[in-house]
Structure 1
Amino acid sequence: MAAQSGKDMLLKLDGGSGAFVTVAGLRTRSLSFNAASVDTTDQESAGRWRELLAGGGVKRASVAGAGVFKDQASDASIRALFFAGTIADWQLVLPHFGVVEGPFQIVALEFSADHAGEVTFDLALESAGEVSFAAV
């Protein structure tokens, strides 16, 4: 796969009608998947090596982003979701790879500013249900 432009990785929020709207002003975005393992090792495990239960652990997806708010609608939507603790449908579009979609909750929202610069924000989302992947 050839190198890709980071600006093409998009974080989108369901606008309420199933139409996803790009969260404006993001400069960085990341996605990570994790699966907890379930240890089933016992005294009869071969060579005393750890044994894991296939498919037994909890899966989760985490999304992080940072940037500047570009419009009042994005700013207001994200603030409202965070302060209400609302779980909403989100999409992360990874160019030439696929689309990850599912329910996420904003678990961290940070604002910072430099005296001579713009106000920036950092956002962290955690999956709150089944997440799907569709290859493009």
Structure 2
Amino acid sequence: MGCKIRDDNLEKVKALMYFKILIDETTDIATVSEIIVYVQFLEDRMGCTVFLSVLPLKDGKAETIFNAQITFIEEHGLDIQKMCAFGSNGASVMLGCENGVAARLRNFVPHLINNHCVAHKLALAVRQASRGIPYLLKF
């Protein structure tokens, strides 16, 4: 089912002028590291976010994640120069300014904008804010 969804969405992305890649790390039931890849774009002046793929990883290093993403982009015929932004969690593996995934991508796409996912920022803020409230620590 994932392949059908991916293929339909890939055709849409190939026709776009620009798109943004969003990735997030996850672990499946067998504890295999993976990244989930989404793409964001404008359609009829509305923002859309669609699933592209789940890519297995041998480890969580920036080089591994970067290579998996570049391989996916190349194998599926996406034009990397149409990628205008990259979003992920705020970990240095992802957004590190020298060796993070975003920095590596910027070597291919100089105009790339990087951003820390707002949902991840919110989770970090809530965690930090809840430290002083005993009830929220349990929650």
Fold shared by both chains (TM-score > 0.5): no
**Whose Rg is larger?**
1
Between Structure 1 and Structure 2, the one with more strand by share is: 1
Instruction: Give the TM-score, by structure 2 length.
Output: 0.30
Higher relative contact order (CA 8 A, sep 6+): 1
Between Structure 1 and Structure 2, the one with more helix by share is: 2
